[in-house]
Amino acid sequence: MKIIFLISLVLLLVINLAYGQPLSDATGLVNRLDIQTGGYTFEVKIISNFDVLEHEFDKDEKRLTIFINSGLENNLGEIIIPQLLLSGNFTFYLNDMQYNPEIKSNDRISFITLNFTGIGNYKIDIIATNTLGGVEQKSETTVTDESPSEGGGCLIATATYGTELAPQVQQLREIRDQKLMKTEYGQFFLNSFNEFYYSFSPTIADYERENPVFKETVKLVITPMLSTLSILNYVDMDSEAEVLGYGISLILLNVGIYFVAPVIIIIKIKK
């Protein structure tokens, strides 16, 4: 799904500057927490615009506690927890006060979206009804969520359409999971691009929530890209050459839409 952001990055930054709002120093930080319990090591992944200071896990209470520090007023984060570690019904507390973030689960992970305001130190408690469900305790093994296909969300599209369950966001995720992640080129591209993408997407997503005009502008910008990406639903991308070919073709198509076509129109108007 990240192909569209190779182009949208430039466009979004230009639009953002046009509104006179410089990007803040917020970055999309990727933290991987190793949770050791029951002879296993589970990986919890956190993508956020705040710092993760430390964490604690209580097996008996089925609770994961995360300590964070934020220097920004608007805080955005995504937590990916393996179902083998914590599952069932979840209860959340933010500084000991019950909190209700968005949560989506499948048979492998729980995907939690945090969105709260305030600068300073926070404690996030995640309490589940089950832990180590169906796992036989044995000598230490590493259990991680290796595939990005269930991982990091599309922060910009989610902020634009209001929820990760929006059809447009689901379309991006399906293209990523069912097309790009099936080949080595696709996986390499997504893994390499993740670090770069999350260095600016939290800032843009935050500004979208603060500025409805900017949000609508972003929606107008990415709509043609979503339309071109829908082409991938009707083609086979089972080989490395096909992924590379269609990827380059889509990039060139979007360059034509966003850059070449406007230049031609401007030239004709001036004449």
Half-sphere exposure of 97 toward its Cβ, with a 13 Å CA cutoff? 3
Q: What structural domains does the chain harbor? A: 1-21+149-271 (no CATH), 25-146 (2.60.40)
Q: What is the dihedral of CA 258, 199, 36, 83, to 10 degrees?
A: -30
Cα separation, 47 vs 138, in Å, equals 30
**What's 239's DSSP letter?**
S
Cα separation, 218 vs 230, in Å, equals 18
pLDDT per position as a tens digit, 213-226: 998 998 888 888 88
Cα separation, 222 vs 216, in Å, equals 10
Which amino acid, residue 149? S
Cα separation, 231 vs 246, in Å, equals 9
Cα separation, 255 vs 8, in Å, equals 10
Q: What is the dihedral of CA 162, 227, 242, 171, to 10 degrees?
A: 30
Per-residue pLDDT of the chain (271 residues; tens, 9 = 90+): 444 444 444 344 333 333 333 333 334 578 889 998 888 888 899 988 888 999 999 999 999 999 999 988 888 888 999 998 999 999 999 999 999 998 988 888 899 999 999 999 999 999 999 998 766 655 444 444 444 334 445 778 878 887 766 788 777 877 777 777 677 777 777 666 666 777 777 778 778 888 889 989 988 888 888 888 778 777 777 777 777 787 788 788 878 888 777 788 888 887 7
Structure tokens that stand for 219 in this block: 């929606």
